[in-house]
Amino acid sequence: MNRDKILFITGTDTDVGKTVVSLLVMHALAGRDAVYLKPVQTGCTDPERDSDPAFVHRHLTGGLPHGMTAASCIHSCRPLPKAPLFAGDPVDFEAVLHFITDQASRHDITIVEGAGGVFVPVTQNRTMLDLAVAAKASILVVGRAGLGTINHTLLTLEAIKARGADCTGLILVDPTNSVPERDRMENSAAIENFSGRAVLGVIGHIADLRHPEPNSLTVIDKLFPLLP
């Protein structure tokens, strides 16, 4: 992978599975010079216990790489479970951007997990999509596998395309294995047909997040050849 490579993981909504996908990406990058960041974390009172980086740390063999702690993966942490704009003091967009690019300058690949979807407001006039574009990141979209995902995913992809950003692919998630296989296939086919973007696969229930099943990591492995 090229130096300064940034992969920005966004969702079609909140709680769609971005953190689990981020964890799987870090599993797949084990032994590589990679770091994981959650630049803006909301709904968190203790970064070392109830943040998304804390979740990733608990489920990675050996924990977060390069001696990072959960707190050091976060630039701005807010207790209110709201969009960053409404979750506390104003976010310094340029400082958050520097936080990402500084890590990217020192590692081969930087995995950045966004907050919610692409249009979640970070400041009065900047969104998560603005942050991904400013960081010159490749964007991975995570969506639900079930009903409603076609509309939400296509709208997200249209927004990314309109900004001229680099969308490297998308992954659907079905954490309870509740979506019938036929529905998974139909939804994936519709998304691919209307967007022209490949659905890399559907990640179902993972029994042991510390030791994910090979089929889940196979979906993640499809991502890496697509990165420029």
Active site residues: 38
CB 110, CB 103: distance < 8 Å:
yes
CA-closest candidate to residue 96, choices 43, 37, 38, 39: 39
Handedness of CA 156, 161, 164, 166 (dihedral sign): positive
Cα 221 to Cα 123: distance, rounded to the nearest angstrom: 34
Helix axes of 52-59 and 18-28: crossing angle, nearest 10 degrees = 40
CB 7, CB 83: distance < 8 Å:
no
**Alpha-carbon distance values, 167 to 43, 54, 86, 124, 159 (Å):** 27, 27, 27, 25, 10
Residues sharing a CB contact under 8 Å with residue 79, sequence separation 6 or more, in sequence order: 42, 43, 44, 45, 87, 88
